[in-house]
Structure 1
Amino acid sequence: MKKIFFLLILSFLIFSCARVGSPVGGAKDTIPPKVVSTNIDSSRVNVPRNIKELRIDFDEYITLKDINKQLIISPPLKKMKKILPSGMANKYLLIKWDDTLQANTTYNFNFGNSIVDNNENNALKYYNFAFSTGDKIDDLYVSGELKSPIADTKNKTEETNLVVGLYQVKDSMDYRQKPYYINKADPDGYFELNYLSPGKYRLLAFEDTNSNSVYDAGKEKVGFLKDEIVLDKSISGLKVNLYPSKKPLKYQEMKEVPGGILMTFEGNPDAVKVLSVSEKLQDYKVTHSPKSDSINIWFDAKKQNLGIDTSENLKFSYDDGIKKDTVSVFYRYNKKNEMSVTNNSGNLLAPNEDFVITSNYFVDKIQPEKWSLVSDSIAQEFSAKISDKNPYEIKIKSNFKEGKKYSLTVPKGTVSSFFENTTVSKRFDFEADKSEKYGSLIVTLQNAPAEKFWFQLLNESGIVAYSRYGKEETLTFKSLKPGKYQIRILVDNNENGIWDSADFKDGIFAEDVFVYAKKIEVRPLWEIRETWDLQAKEEIPPVKSTIEEKTAIPAKTDLPKK
């Protein structure tokens, strides 16, 4: 009996020891770590220039979350050595560097939300540590708001990385280096640059997609102020728009495509002169739309015996107005790349719209007299033409009646490119949809641009669903699919037929963009009328400072105008 009792006591003790750890129940820890001491004096002034580390001690164990992305040091330190903790939790944070600090300079270490406690991941939000090698800490600041009127539908990410920087105005400024002062913007676009010294600066904002704190032209959105900032007092309320940036003009690549070779460029060249340098390729056609990044070289590979049995090294010279060069591509004819026509719009045709078929080749000639359009076995009158705006599209017009079903037959050989034609007959079945499923929108513009513009309706995915180009001040859309739309105007200020993006290098702003303040909901059988005054001022809501030492921000200053 004593033996059984002894075993019970021993089991209880072992079980109790196994449960050492956090107590069960109670309120969840929501308190972020607290700073208890640092290796730099609390006054944080007259810090020796030869100091090589910053140590911050906390009241509990911490870890660092995305420290390489979130930590921003202004002015930047170029020779970073170590950041701890790395992996294991610790009660201190340590940053080491090899740089010699500048004289009479305020340094700001902005940790963002990277410092979190080890148990509950409570973040010490927007923590800054500033110190000065001079006898005072600079306390000027610049704040404002970033907006992106042109949404990026191709590269959407859950988290944007918008940064704002200030470059010191000097005789020579290298924008390929990190800004002298830099900080991240909040997810809603609000930004602050703190602990600034008086002086003259250029402001640059960009979408730092690769987190290198350097603006990459052509790859990242950009916004800037045309005029320099004279900082003798704090500035708030700046409003900066970010736009796609202009890519430097350069050749990119060549590859085999249906009908020949596709040559691509960055930077949208105005014109490119392309010539074949290969003796075997003498009969060819080059197509390029001005400001397009694509140049097509069309030829009959079978007739000229190019790349039929083995790959052929084809060489071409090009002149894009900036550079002349010779490039080559290994070409192999692909039998699957025959010319064809398809219907990419679905089998329901919206009221008052043309039926459109699309080719994978540049369409040079059509023979619609050999086509047939029937409804209820009765031939219908129609006309067809190659689209003026897109030579890969063919538009078919007819008196399409709601609820009626139609069949369009396009015999083989009746759609031609320069060296090819369709080899398979195609039949397209579709129905003219009923107007009761669609809504209409009439927009009257006040103070419309003097230049031509694109009036666009963007769907809820940010994709342009409807677009018009011209100078109309009253725009009517009669057959809109139900849904919510954002209205946008892109102004063709120089009327060159494309919307020009921002060029920070040459100080050229993107062409004007207007976005209607509210979204429009289109409903079946509803007619919506809107009046849009493009000169109406947008109200900016007040913003709060995140600077610890400040309790209020002065009234906003106006953004320097273009």
Structure 2
Amino acid sequence: MKKVFLLLILNIILLSCARVGSPVGGAKDTVAPKFVGSNIDTARINVPVDTKELKLYFDEYIQLKDIQKNLNISPPIRYKKILPTTMGNKYILIQWDENLQENTTYNFNFGNAISDLNEGNVLPYYNFAFSTGEKLDDLYISGDVIDGMAKPAANTATPSTENKKNYVVGLYQEKDTINYSQKPYYITKADPDGYFELNYLSPGEYRILAFEDENQNSVYEAGKENVAFAKDKIDLKSSISGMKLVIYPSKKALKYKEMKEATGGAVMIFEGHPAKVDVTALSEKLKDYKVTHKPYSGSVNIWFDAVKQDIGIRQSENLKFKYSADGKEGEASVFYRLNSKNEMIGSSVESKIAPTKNFEILWNYPVQNIQTDKWTLKIDSVNTVPFTAKISAEKPNKVQVSGDFQIGKKYSLTVPKETVQSYYTSNPKSYQFNFEIDRAENYGSFNIIIENKPDAKFWIQFLNEKGDVQFSKFSDEASHNFNEIKPGKYLLRILVDNNGNGQWDGADFTNKTFAEDVYIFPKEIEIRELWQNKEVWNLKSNSTETPVLNAPPNVN
């Protein structure tokens, strides 16, 4: 009897304990949490500036997910505490130390952080605003962030959403000096489709930008994060809707980064892709050297014969240099130790090549001279056949071999040692490269006619599904033929060299310079064997060039 009584008491205790969880049976809960009140009165105005916390109550137990990534407070507040953390609660508590600004509307944008504890139903893009003044500011800016380099969706001119990005949109107050290394005064996140809203804005003059916040610190980093911006300030007197922000890769500021030992010598690395770099050795032992730099690239190679000049043979030696990069001068140094893997190495680009293409060899050194009279080319490993070879004008480390190649035949090219010369070295061993001439029916072709082509020269490019450039032409012609293309799906784009410097330049937010024009063909191109595709491309009808604001936006 006593045992029965004890079991009864135990059951009563267990049943009386509060439990957070989903009920057994019944329909699944699909309703998001509902806001029911806060520690700030319903009007949400005339909030004391010495208020140090915000408490938001909900009708069920909630959890916060990735709150540091989702929560944006405008104007920024450095909070010291936020609840709930890992456990559920029926309220959100945010605490801070500093006083609030007078006559200011604060907006707490939680993004998709709030969800119920049991089923994970999200309360999307929840905002809570209050004012330390007599009214809530109610102006807004809404619109879309568009990836200017995006792959088009299949069979439509709408940009693809298969790689949706997380974009931040911010407003900085217009001042004589704006500190862009701080969070924007007003900030929000675009939804996965690129739509954004900046709410509870006060009238004033602002600078707007959108960027891909890769490091999730809500601060734009030039050269690392894609960006969109307006050149002119926004004089916000009434709400704006329909704004379009086209986002592009950003241009890095010119900066020396590092120097390190490299094959054949040393390499100096710059950010910002300088047009011209001059380098002078300051070390007495380094007398004979060669400097190579491709304009608008970030790598500067210093080539030398370490053995002949007795540099870094027995121990590391500190080699010092001075440089001038686009007029910016400085000094750099590297602790150099001779690398035993400095051998000149060659490799074939492809072993099966299209009927009219060249056979190509890549070397890990720039090639100065080739002694082709000592090379031999055999067909089917039997008969020697004539050929010609030359160093590529665009890539000095590439050698192109051409001849009267026969379809379906196999070839063997012998390159004896020391017949390919670079700075201070040559190939120390012989190579035999084997390749085969593929059949024409294994390829397709493509013809494009461009209407309203750019005034400046441009690159027209084929990109594979990974985004790698497969074919590229630099031209100002309206008609282009691409032959012997491997079957597959491709993106076709045009990059315009508006400033004529021989490279495509990204957006420069510091100097308020837009990215150079980009055009994305509005549909994916599929190349099939023995097919000849032909398209007409009117650039004005499906442009993704750099205007930031679609004109005119709707002003309310």
TM-score (normalizing by structure 1) = 0.90
Partner of 2:507: 502
Partner of 2:363: 359
Q: Take 1:10 and 1:559, find their aligned partners in 2: how far apart are those partners?
A: 72
Q: Note the 1:102-251 alignment, pairs <5 A.
A: 102-150=101-149, 160-251=165-256
Closer/same/farther in 2, CA of residues 151 and 516 from structure 1, 3 Å limit: closer
Partner of 1:348: 352
Task: Measure how far apart 1:558 and its partner are.
Answer: 2.6
Amino acid of the residue matched to residue 540 of structure 2? Answer: Q
Give yes or no for contact 1:444–1:530 (8 Å, CA) kept in 2. yes
The answer to whether 1:48 aligns with 2:42 is no
Task: Measure how far apart 1:22 and its partner are.
Answer: 4.8
Secondary structure of the residue that 1:451 maps to in structure 2?
A: coil
The answer to whether 1:372 aligns with 2:376 is yes
Secondary structure of the residue that 1:369 maps to in structure 2?
A: helix
Give yes or no for contact 2:360–2:401 (8 Å, CA) kept in 1. yes
Task: Measure how far apart 1:103 and its partner are.
Answer: 2.3
Partner of 1:545: none
Q: Take 2:260 and 2:508, find their aligned partners in 1: how far apart are those partners?
A: 29
Task: Measure how far apart 1:137 and its partner are.
Answer: 1.6
Q: Take 2:225 and 2:70, find their aligned partners in 1: how far apart are those partners?
A: 18
Q: Take 2:521 and 2:22, find their aligned partners in 1: how far apart are those partners?
A: 54
Amino acid of the residue matched to residue 281 of structure 1? Answer: L
Secondary structure of the residue that 1:203 maps to in structure 2?
A: strand
Closer/same/farther in 2, CA of residues 129 and 237 from structure 1, 3 Å limit: same
Q: Take 1:392 and 1:26, find their aligned partners in 2: how far apart are those partners?
A: 70
Q: Take 2:504 and 2:374, find their aligned partners in 1: how far apart are those partners?
A: 39
Q: Note the 1:92-491 alignment, pairs <5 A.
A: 92-150=91-149, 160-343=165-348, 345-376=349-380, 377-491=382-496
Which string of whole-angstrom CA distances, capped at 9 and with x for unpartnered residues, describes residues 92-139 of structure 1?
101111232222221110000101222222211110001122222222
Secondary structure of the residue that 2:171 maps to in structure 1?
A: strand
Amino acid of the residue matched to residue 367 of structure 2? Answer: V
Relative to structure 2, which stretch is displaced further, 238-247 or 413-422? 238-247
Give yes or no for contact 1:151–1:462 (8 Å, CA) kept in 2. no
Q: Take 1:38 and 1:59, find their aligned partners in 2: how far apart are those partners?
A: 12
Which string of whole-angstrom CA distances, capped at 9 and with x for unpartnered residues, describes residues 526-555 of structure 1?
11100001111569xxxxxxxxxxxxxxxx
Q: Take 1:208 and 1:484, find their aligned partners in 2: how far apart are those partners?
A: 30
Give the superposed CA RMSD: 2.5
Partner of 1:546: none
Secondary structure of the residue that 2:426 maps to in structure 1?
A: coil
Amino acid of the residue matched to residue 48 of structure 1? Answer: P
Q: Take 2:164 and 2:43, find their aligned partners in 1: how far apart are those partners?
A: 36
Q: Take 1:457 and 1:354, find their aligned partners in 2: how far apart are those partners?
A: 19
TM-score (normalizing by structure 2) = 0.91
Secondary structure of the residue that 1:282 maps to in structure 2?
A: coil
Give yes or no for contact 2:283–2:319 (8 Å, CA) kept in 1. yes
The answer to whether 1:32 aligns with 2:32 is yes
Closer/same/farther in 2, CA of residues 559 and 375 from structure 1, 3 Å limit: farther
Give yes or no for contact 1:438–1:480 (8 Å, CA) kept in 2. yes
Closer/same/farther in 2, CA of residues 456 and 159 from structure 1, 3 Å limit: closer
Secondary structure of the residue that 2:183 maps to in structure 1?
A: coil
Relative to structure 2, which stretch is displaced further, 376-385 or 514-523? 376-385
Closer/same/farther in 2, CA of residues 158 and 534 from structure 1, 3 Å limit: closer
Q: Take 2:455 and 2:355, find their aligned partners in 1: how far apart are those partners?
A: 32
> Unpaired segments of 5 or more residues in structure 1?
540-555
Q: Take 1:327 and 1:494, find their aligned partners in 2: how far apart are those partners?
A: 31
Task: Measure how far apart 1:331 and its partner are.
Answer: 0.9
Partner of 2:58: 58
Task: Measure how far apart 1:151 and its partner are.
Answer: 5.7
Secondary structure of the residue that 1:193 maps to in structure 2?
A: strand
Amino acid of the residue matched to residue 558 of structure 1? Answer: P
Q: Take 1:150 and 1:357, find their aligned partners in 2: how far apart are those partners?
A: 32
Task: Measure how far apart 1:26 and its partner are.
Answer: 2.7
The answer to whether 1:521 aligns with 2:526 is yes
Closer/same/farther in 2, CA of residues 433 and 277 from structure 1, 3 Å limit: same
Partner of 1:558: 552
Which string of whole-angstrom CA distances, capped at 9 and with x for unpartnered residues, describes residues 427-458 of structure 1?
11111111111111000000111111010111
Q: Take 2:355 and 2:454, find their aligned partners in 1: how far apart are those partners?
A: 30
Secondary structure of the residue that 2:142 maps to in structure 1?
A: strand
Give yes or no for contact 2:241–2:553 (8 Å, CA) kept in 1. no
Q: Take 1:337 and 1:496, find their aligned partners in 2: how far apart are those partners?
A: 34
Q: Take 2:51 and 2:480, find their aligned partners in 1: how far apart are those partners?
A: 66
Q: Take 2:100 and 2:411, find their aligned partners in 1: how far apart are those partners?
A: 77
Task: Measure how far apart 1:164 and its partner are.
Answer: 0.8
Partner of 1:553: none
Relative to structure 2, which stretch is displaced further, 231-240 or 482-491? 231-240
Task: Measure how far apart 1:159 and its partner are.
Answer: 6.7
Amino acid of the residue matched to residue 42 of structure 1? Answer: T
Amino acid of the residue matched to residue 203 of structure 1? Answer: I
Amino acid of the residue matched to residue 39 of structure 1? Answer: N
Q: Take 2:311 and 2:342, find their aligned partners in 1: how far apart are those partners?
A: 14
Give yes or no for contact 1:235–1:557 (8 Å, CA) kept in 2. no
Task: Measure how far apart 1:51 and its partner are.
Answer: 1.3
Closer/same/farther in 2, CA of residues 246 and 427 from structure 1, 3 Å limit: same
Closer/same/farther in 2, CA of residues 355 and 413 from structure 1, 3 Å limit: same
Identity within the alignment, %: 56
Task: Measure how far apart 1:502 and its partner are.
Answer: 1.1
Q: Take 1:462 and 1:472, find their aligned partners in 2: how far apart are those partners?
A: 24
Q: Take 1:279 and 1:193, find their aligned partners in 2: how far apart are those partners?
A: 61
Task: Measure how far apart 1:381 and its partner are.
Answer: 2.0
Q: Take 1:405 and 1:127, find their aligned partners in 2: how far apart are those partners?
A: 66
Q: Take 2:302 and 2:553, find their aligned partners in 1: how far apart are those partners?
A: 48
Give yes or no for contact 2:519–2:543 (8 Å, CA) kept in 1. no
Task: Measure how far apart 1:33 and its partner are.
Answer: 1.5
Q: Take 1:275 and 1:102, find their aligned partners in 2: how far apart are those partners?
A: 55
Secondary structure of the residue that 1:68 maps to in structure 2?
A: helix
Q: Take 1:93 and 1:314, find their aligned partners in 2: how far apart are those partners?
A: 59
